[in-house]
Every structure is written in structure tokens, then in C-alpha cells.
Amino acid sequence: MNRFEFELILDKPLEYGEKKIEKLIFDFESLTGNDIIEVEKELSTVVIYPEGSAEYLGALAAKAAGVSSVIIRDLPAKDFFKVKAKARVFINMCLGILKTQEN
């Protein structure tokens, strides 16, 4: 795993039709500028997307995991907070606000 990748194992799997999601793997390092623009476009009709908002961080995490942002929003609160925190750490490290990744 790279320093911007983490795995989230769900206590209770999420089910979408026939699909059952038991874990999500987030790879923030693989994101490109195009991914960031897609996140902003997804949210442009919903919210003014400050990079600290739950919507923005959740959509960014969804892009890093290669899943719909609906799946991220459906996570239990404790898991959503973990995912949101990892997305915020990624942004802060990219901006040079943090020098090392926090757990």
C-alpha cells in the first residue's frame, strides 16, 4: 500500500441490489486533476464545495475508492468520519499543511 491508500473493513456489509460491499479500498494517490474536477462537477448543483465539507470529502473518498458517492454517504457514521478524516489528511498533505500522515 502507498502512503495515501487505506482499507476500510465494514462491520456490517452494505447491500446494493445483488452487490454486497464488505470492504472499501481508498487510493488517494491515484487521483488526478480530472478526478478532482469530476468531484467538483458532481457537487456543483448540490453545494458550494469547500474542501472541508462532508460532501466534498465524501465525494473525493468515493473517487479514490472507485465507488459511487452514495456508497460513502451510506456508511455508518463512525466509518464515514474515518473516511472523511483520511480525505482531509490527503488534502492537507498535498497542500503542505501536514508533513507526515496521521493515523
Whether residue 12 lies inside any domain: the answer is: yes
Whether residue 48 lies inside any domain: the answer is: yes
Whether residue 41 lies inside any domain: the answer is: yes
pLDDT, one tens digit for every residue, the chain (103 residues): 667 788 989 999 999 889 999 999 999 888 888 888 888 887 776 556 577 788 889 999 999 999 999 999 999 989 999 999 999 998 888 888 766 655 4
Whether residue 63 lies inside any domain: the answer is: yes
- Cβ neighbours around 83 below 10 Å, total: 22
Strand 19-27 with 5-16, pairing? antiparallel
Whether residue 101 lies inside any domain: the answer is: no
Whether residue 99 lies inside any domain: the answer is: no
Is pTM, for the whole model, over 0.75? Answer: no
How many domains are there within the chain?
Answer: 1
Determine the pLDDT at residue 99: 67
Determine the pLDDT at residue 48: 60
Whether residue 13 lies inside any domain: the answer is: yes
Alpha-helix runs per DSSP H in the chain: 33-43, 54-65, 69-73, 77-94
The C-alpha cell at 64 is: 479514490
Whether residue 25 lies inside any domain: the answer is: yes
Range of the domain at 49: 5-94
